[in-house]
Structure 1
Amino acid sequence: GAGPQGLPTLQIGERMVETTPGLTGLLDRLVAKEVVDRRRCEVDRRRVYCTLTAEGLQVLGRLDEPVEAWEHSVVKGLSEDDVRDLIEKLNEIRSALEPAK
């Protein structure tokens, strides 16, 4: 979770498989739909924090059950060890695709 302060946009990008320009457009659309709020950090004006609005929290709540059902359908038939191995390999692939920092 983001906590009451929200998440900086760069940290959101690190959690997603998304480039920063793509993330900016996505956040613009979410702000326009009033599911996300953005605000500048008072200490460092270059930093922007994002938080879910009340509507955003409702949307997220409605997604929990279908996303969980989809996740279970994807891994059904796999053992816990297989799922752990799959997650590890996907994380390795994601790391390999990230630009050098």
Structure 2
Amino acid sequence: AQTLEVPTFDVLFPEIQKRLFGRKIVAHNESFDRNVLMKTMSWYGLYYDELELAGRWECTCKIYRAKGYPKANLKYCSDRNGIQLNHHEALSDARACAKLYLLHDGQVGMKL
């Protein structure tokens, strides 16, 4: 689909809000992703605080850097842990990040 045919953020926001409200959010570079969400919401006149999210999200990049990985980018962390990744494909990136978090958190058996 062409971008002109895709609904805008404000149209999609009610569904996004239902999925994010009050939840624990995990990202591979949380400060970047959090700032993108905050700025996008502001652009559309929406209020980030109404999502009731933590001030900082869980960050797999920081987690794996703290584990001593020489590189902590998503591809390196995924490769090192045998996680399939089609890098920069949104769903694949999200699944890889979730799997990295679950490995760290000891919840390896969960299906994603």
For the criterion TM > 0.5, the same-fold answer is no
Name the larger-Rg structure.
1
Q: TM-score, normalised by structure 2?
A: 0.28
More strand by share: 1
> TM-score normalised to the size of structure 1?
0.30
